A and B are shown apart, each in its own frame.
Chain A
């Protein structure tokens, strides 16, 4: 086999890894901050930590305000991913298989919700979630994040499902499968990767969002991102602890991304590549 997919420029590899190195630099720097004592951070500038300490990590995992808000974020994010998927699956199937009254309008309308600036919803969310008893609950945040995740999930799933020939549905129908049985037994296993990608994207967008999550929580469901503002006190910013929290918030994303690494690009294109 000759060169695959076009000629490779001779310096392509170098350029690419240089870019990745640049990309990693701010991340590594933050990691460096998290493992040095605060006196060293503010004292003299040094590229490599002079003294290495894991005190900040110890603080994070022993102070309940820190680790409980970390858990809060994981709980509502997972809940949101599952809820969004369950709601979106039948709808995506409907969009990929049937034409029905108003389908195109509905599809567009869903898209507009993915694109709506979260700031627009701040005002009513605070009041509505308080009045229905969802304020400061994990379920509340999970539902609020469905605002942008359900449309996204429908879009991604529809893209993947449309790639599966409709003959399969028809054959199953001839074989006597009812729609629900066909869907669960045959169709879902066929779109496993799409489900993985969808869960990943819902998890990701819920995990990175702060504005809405912060607005509709106070204590019990407070996200880790909101707790990070605690590091600013009268004595100044606790840079070490702030960096530690930052490093730890990257971990869940880095773990889940590994599982869907071959599909992320397609998912970002809403299943349309």
Chain B
């Protein structure tokens, strides 16, 4: 976690060969450890907002806190009980399932949207702003919008399903309906992100590629499959991983719409965690839960970073 801070002064450049080898990879970047002065403000600010809080969490996770003065060291007990807790495991499975569905729906839909999006003319700006609009709505308001829209009595969506399609739909009572509502809400909320990324990727494809395709009389599908899609690999990597991370830590939107219910139907990891931490104020288990949760995210994050730095640039 805080590895970077410790290495500052200690690391010495050793030998000519590896330095030269690195230099040939990035010929224009100068090696200068004084650059650390430039990153110092970032390190300090993140130390205050992330490292210190995280250390506190570690501290909590190995103790049983009865009161500020009365606490007992319990070792890894909380970690064991949390990792065996059926409710936590169910929430983990639920969250993974949700993230998988989000990716399966949003990535193809976002790419499709980017392909049909206008690329020139007066309407481009309007189109961009309208598509991006859901991304700028506070997350609880996204929840509110769908809380209203999906209701059978006052919402257009819920009302249509119940009265026009004749299907009984109630997200406050039926677990499946609640799940669908949260999923549709997420698709509505975040597909624009995928679309914008893919759109930026499409715009960066040089014109001669398309002229060549035209000369070869390639079909629209062939053009997409062999020219556009391969060129989208970089941005789609970012899109997939950003969407995975953010859906994996989703909290506010389902909290507003369903509150994690009905029953536990939409109780994702973050919702369960904040229930334990703030609702029940079980400090020890919540801290252990936080760390395990953080660890899982770190692993995925590492994959993200590796893939991104390998395919990008």
Contacts and interface: CB of A to CB of B under 8 A. Distances in A.
Interface of A: 2-7, 9, 12-13, 15-16, 19-20, 23-27, 29-30, 33, 41-42, 45, 47, 86-88, 90-91, 93-95, 97-103, 105-106, 108-113, 115-125, 127-128, 143-144, 146-147, 150-151, 154, 166, 204, 207-211, 215, 224-225, 228, 239, 242-243, 245-246, 249-250, 253-254, 256-258, 261-262, 264-266, 268-270, 272-273
Nearest 4 A/B pairs, CB to CB: A253-B136, A265-B200, A117-B249, A124-B53
B37 to A, nearest CB: 8
Given A26-B149, A211-B274, A264 B128 contact: yes
Nearest to B219: A7
Contact of A228 (B39, B117, B140, B300): B140
Chain A interface, DSSP helix/strand/loop, else mixed: helix
Contact of B155 (A27, A29, A245, A269): A29
A20 B245 contact: no
A20 B227 CA distance: 26
A224 B277 CA distance: 23
B297 interface: yes
Chain B interface, DSSP helix/strand/loop, else mixed: helix
Contacts of A246: 137, 141, 144-145
B154 A25 contact: no
Contact of A120 (B2, B125, B293): B293
B31 A100 contact: yes
A229 to B, nearest CB: 8
Given A6-B213, A123-B283, A209-B139, A261 B223 contact: no
B165 interface: no
Contact of B117 (A16, A124, A208): A16
Nearest to A179: B38
Given A110-B42, A123-B277, A166-B28, A94 B52 contact: no
6 contacts: A16-B117, A29-B155, A102-B3, A102-B11, A115-B245, A121-B54
B228 A6 contact: yes
Contacts of A99: 22, 26, 29-32
B278 A215 contact: yes
Interface residues of B, number: 122
Contact of A27 (B145, B205, B234): B145
A265 B50 contact: no
B287 interface: yes
Interface stretch (B77-85, B99-107, B172-180, B191-199): B191-199
Interface in B21-76: 22, 26, 28-36, 38-39, 41-43, 45-46, 48-50, 52-54, 56-57, 60
Contact of A257 (B133, B145, B156, B298): B133
Interface in B204-227: 204-205, 207, 210-211, 213-214, 220, 223-224, 227
Interface string B219-243: 0100110011000001100100010
